[in-house]
Amino acid sequence: MTEVIRSAAALREKVAAWKRSGMLVGVVPTMGALHDGHLSLARAARAQSDRVIVTIFVNPMQFNNPEDLKKYPRDETRDLALLEADGVDVLFAPGPDEVYPEGFATKVSVAGISAPMEGAFRPGHFDGVATVVSKLFGMTQAGRAFFGEKDWQQLQVVRRLVTDLNIPVDVIGCPTIREDDGLAMSSRNVRLSDAERAVAPALHRAMQAAAEAIRGGAPTGAALADARAAILAAGFGAVEYLDLRHAGTLEPIDRAGPPARLLVAAMLGEVRLIDNIAV
């Protein structure tokens, strides 16, 4: 049975009892509308911890676009059934007032690594992420936390924040889970029309082609320009960024091989898709 907990106080009591008996607690922070990507994190948590908490909180502070927040898919009943099936111990699903009670005044901001790419196109987004993740670590007191590589920049921001604030949690990055056609799973994919869904895999295809070209010695600038053109030609409305960067520092880089990472964000109709791969 997955127990649903909505208050931080009740969660704290539960976790304190687990910890008294020496258990390692794993947490998987999510915004719900769960798919196999999320569930792969829950399974990793199950395998690497004694007790598993999945959190579902659609965090208003990390949405720079009110329309995106309003349209974000929510289905807690379905989510709970999926978590039950995966043997998750607790679903922590606090309301906004539990997370941001009256008088809330603190913001966690990770400089540098938050600035480019997502940070440039979604101002304030990573402050919202860093703040809510810090709070979730405080509320869950977990020893291990599982994040997807799908949100590569977010994973680096969380690693930085945990180091900088001496938060006693091991951050574990888990590989991106994809549909058979290569599209990275995302809660936002359900908002794609059938026609857009057919176009969507072009994003990953173009990235793979660019990665291959760069590995084969093509100039990075030319390979990225070709990929941009291919993404737009497939039917995407805009490519916000398509950058080759150092996987850890996120500084621009122009050679293939570790630690090079190719990261992209592009608009397909009204839906913003992101992806990244090693080069």
Q: What are the residue numbers of the active site?
A: 38
Minimum distance from residue 192 beta carbon to ligand AMP (Å)? 14
Minimum distance from residue 133 beta carbon to ligand AMP (Å)? 10
Residue 26 host element (H or E) = strand 25-30
Give the residue with the Cβ less far from ligand AMP, 40 or 134: 40
Give the residue with the Cβ less far from ligand AMP, 184 or 202: 184
Minimum distance from residue 33 beta carbon to ligand AMP (Å)? 7
Report helix, strand or coil for 23. coil
Q: Measure the CA–CA gap between 239 and 241, rounded to whole angstroms.
A: 6
Minimum distance from residue 255 beta carbon to ligand AMP (Å)? 26
Residues lying near ligand AMP in the complex (CB under 6 A): 30-31, 37-38, 40-41, 147-148, 150-151, 174, 176-177, 184-187
Asked if residue 152 lies in contact with residue 263, where contact means CB atoms within 8 angstroms, the answer is yes
Position 41: which residue type?
Answer: L
Give the residue with the Cβ less far from ligand AMP, 44 or 224: 44
Give the residue with the Cβ less far from ligand AMP, 150 or 191: 150
Q: Measure the CA–CA gap between 146 and 29, rounded to whole angstroms.
A: 7
